[in-house]
Amino acid sequence: MDQASDSGSTGGRGAAPAAAPAVELGRDGVTLAQVVGVARSGVSVYLGVKARAAMQASAALVDGFVAGDEPVYGVNTGFGSLADKAIPAHRTAELQVALVRSHATGMGDPIEADVVRAMLLLRARSLALAYSGVRPELVDRQTALLNAGITPVVYEHGSLGASGDLAPLSHCALALIGEGEVWTREGERQPTTQAFADAGLQPVVLRAKEGLALINGTDGILGMLCLALHDLNALMRIADVTAAMTVEGLLGTDRAFAADLQALRPQVGQAISARNLTRLLADSAIVASHREGDTRVQDAYSLRCTPQVHGAALDTVAYARTIAERELRAAIDNPMILPDGRVESCGNFHGAPLAMVCDFLAIAASEVSAIAERRTDRMLDVARSQGLPPFLSPDAGVNSGMMIAHYTQVAIALENQRLAVPASVQSMPTSAMQEDHVSNGWAAARKLRRSVDNLRRVLAVELVCAAAALDLRGPLSPSPATAAAVHALRARVAGPTVDRWLSPDLRAAERLLADGIVLDAVEAAIGPMEVL
């Protein structure tokens, strides 16, 4: 069986190079770029010397709790609403194994490999901060799986994002103890025992507190947020590229993007998008052709307000990145084992901060999708396209041109509107009312991931249509930047002719965006575009 598909996540989307330096897990957390490198490019990971020593000291504190008489949640008590059940010392290790097995309750389709790898890394990152009372051997096994390309099989449904991503992380923990199933580096699904034997790995034997520490984190939500932020960093620039192409194709003006006009409303993202559009349209013979003598007073909102909409999305991405970067330095567990020997229960595992920004990003992705669809629609409507043929077909009537490509784009944009409905406002109590408010952050992150993929598809349709419009404006030439985008597309997708099977063209355009080929071509022509 092949490994679960991840909609093009691995090997694309501007993935970090495999030669990137190994990631050291220590007391300072990790960076967003390191998460992406490990998740998608197989960058290796190891536990630092200082972190190892701190973990050993923290684990020694737990040994003392096991030997003592005081109840310590998750060490010598049950879990959730069973926290008042005392566990004798000789059964504390058994308790941890039972916890992992009972909490590995995932259902639905397996989730993507890059998400699982991000989860493994981020849980190891939190444990390496040495506030969880676990031995370094746990992190050693997590990094061994990552470095060997062994990925636990984790299912889509199970997490409420409250006591962390309990069910998904339990499937990861199940692999660490040699149970469950995994994907190999080659994408084969195997029992963990077989994969471990082939890789020369031994399962870890859990001690007190360790099962709980392996599953009590927001690592799935955070991993998906990090991957989405990485992808949006490219997609927001691509959105400016396709918008500029459409402005040219519709004989729009760049005057609305002027810096002095934008400065009247000091929104940072808006100014960045406007500067990008100005650079993208510089030296365009198409734009210059109607700069004087054009009787139109102003362009439609979908062209003129592009910086305002794209800029709002950029501001949202910047805010979400701030939240993610804080979480990448956070110790997430319960209870926390403090260096002075205190054991304190807390709510750091609650996913609310991440859930809300995942929802916010889904709203941003939906709005960028929506304005791109409106721009595309104008190019296809002979009544509004400023002289372009109906549906961009040189022989409309017998040929339908891009008519139904637009239907596909609308269907995807409408799905993004549904996905923009917040998940973080939904909550149901669990665990006999002990866990009576949940973040639903896993669901927010899952739909964000789909929203990002959908945005790429919406922009791919605009790219194909706008490139056809620019071809049809010949002999007038587009700007150097947009010409580079057309040239990159034409290596895989032909220009406007008689009707042909369009699905391969649209999917090829999506792949060109995912692999960074179009964006690289544009930035090679005009230099790096701005992001927040």
Mean pLDDT of each 10-residue bin along the chain, 532 residues long? 44 50 94 98 97 96 84 76 77 89 96 98 97 96 98 96 91 97 96 97 94 94 98 98 98 97 97 98 97 89 98 98 97 91 89 96 98 98 96 94 97 98 90 84 97 98 98 97 98 96 98 98 98 92
What lies within 8 Å, CB to CB, of 503 at 6+ separation is none
Question: Which pLDDT score, from 0 to 100, does residue 73 have?
Answer: 80
Dist CA 512 CA 484 (whole Å)? 13
Q: Give the long-range contacts of residues 97-101, CB within 8 A, separation 24 or more.
A: 97/177, 97/206, 97/211, 98/211, 99/170, 99/211, 99/212, 99/215, 100/170, 100/173, 100/174, 100/177, 100/206, 100/211, 100/214, 100/215, 101/170, 101/174, 101/179
Dist CA 42 CA 402 (whole Å)? 40
Q: What is the pLDDT of residues 175-192, one digit of tens each?
A: 999 999 999 999 999 999
Under the phi-then-psi rule, with left for phi > 0, alpha for psi from -120 to 50, and beta for the rest, what region is 48?
beta
Give the Cβ contact number of residue 145 at 10 Å: 25
495 exposure class (CB count in 10 Å sphere: 0-12, 13-18, 19+): middle
Beta bridge partners of 181: 191
Dist CA 421 CA 360 (whole Å)? 10
Share of the chain above pLDDT 90, in %: 82
Q: What is the pLDDT of residues 318-350, one digit of tens each?
A: 999 999 999 999 999 988 999 998 988 888 899
Q: Which positions are catalytic?
A: 73
Q: How many residues does the chain have?
A: 532
Instruction: Starting at the earlier edge strand, list the strands of the sheet with 189-191.
Output: 151-152, 181-183, 189-191
Instruction: Look at residues 492, 253, 465, 307 and name the one whose alpha carbon lies nearest to residue 373.
Output: 465
Give the type of residue at 123: R
Q: DSSP string of 108-149?
A: EEEPPHHHHHHHHHHHHHHHTTS-S---HHHHHHHHHHHHHT
Stated as kind and residue range, the H or E segment containing 343 is strand 343-344
What lies within 8 Å, CB to CB, of 257 at 6+ separation is 274, 275, 277, 278, 281, 307
| Domains, in order of start, for the chain | 23-217 (1.10.275.10), 225-526 (1.20.200.10)
Question: Which pLDDT score, from 0 to 100, does residue 239 have?
Answer: 98
Stated as kind and residue range, the H or E segment containing 56 is helix 49-67
Instruction: Look at residues 415, 411, 406, 353 and name the one whose alpha carbon lies nearest to residue 378.
Output: 406
Pair 118, 224: CB distance under 8 Å: yes
Locate 275 and state its tokens. Answer: 């500067």
Locate 114 and state its tokens. Answer: 């890059």
Dist CA 446 CA 467 (whole Å)? 32
Dist CA 425 CA 441 (whole Å)? 10
Dist CA 478 CA 280 (whole Å)? 10
Cα–Cα distances (Å) from 428 to 394, 443, 500, in that order, read 56, 13, 50
User: 333-345 burial, b if ≥16 CB within 10 A, otherwise e?
Assistant: bbbbbeeeeebee
Instruction: Look at residues 349, 368, 344, 99 and name the one whose alpha carbon lies nearest to residue 210.
Output: 99
Q: DSSP string of 284-330?
A: -HHHHTTSSS-------HHHHTHHHHHHHHHHHHHHHHHHHHHHTT-
Stated as kind and residue range, the H or E segment containing 424 is none
Sign of the dihedral defined by the CA atoms of residues 65, 69, 73, 76, in that order? positive
Q: 107-110 and 336-337: which strand pairing?
A: unpaired
For 101, which DSSP code? H
Pair 317, 232: CB distance under 8 Å: yes
Residue 47 three-state SS: strand
Instruction: Look at residues 107, 137, 110 and name the one whose alpha carbon lies nearest to residue 124.
Output: 137
For 524, phi and psi rounded to 5 degrees? -65, -30
Under the phi-then-psi rule, with left for phi > 0, alpha for psi from -120 to 50, and beta for the rest, what region is 232?
alpha
Question: Which pLDDT score, from 0 to 100, does residue 86 have?
Answer: 80
Q: What is the pLDDT of residues 232-273, one digit of tens each?
A: 999 999 999 999 999 999 999 999 999 999 999 999 999 999
Question: Which pLDDT score, from 0 to 100, does residue 14 have?
Answer: 44
Place of tokens 């961009």: 392
Sign of the dihedral defined by the CA atoms of residues 262, 263, 264, 268, in that order? positive
Locate 94 and state its tokens. Answer: 């058994």
Dist CA 63 CA 337 (whole Å)? 12
Question: Which pLDDT score, from 0 to 100, does residue 8 have?
Answer: 40
Instruction: Look at residues 461, 512, 221, 168 and name the one whose alpha carbon lies nearest to residue 361.
Output: 221
Pair 161, 442: CB distance under 8 Å: yes
Residue 181 three-state SS: strand
Under the phi-then-psi rule, with left for phi > 0, alpha for psi from -120 to 50, and beta for the rest, what region is 386?
left
Locate 468 and state its tokens. Answer: 């056809």
Give the type of residue at 1: M
Dist CA 143 CA 156 (whole Å)? 23
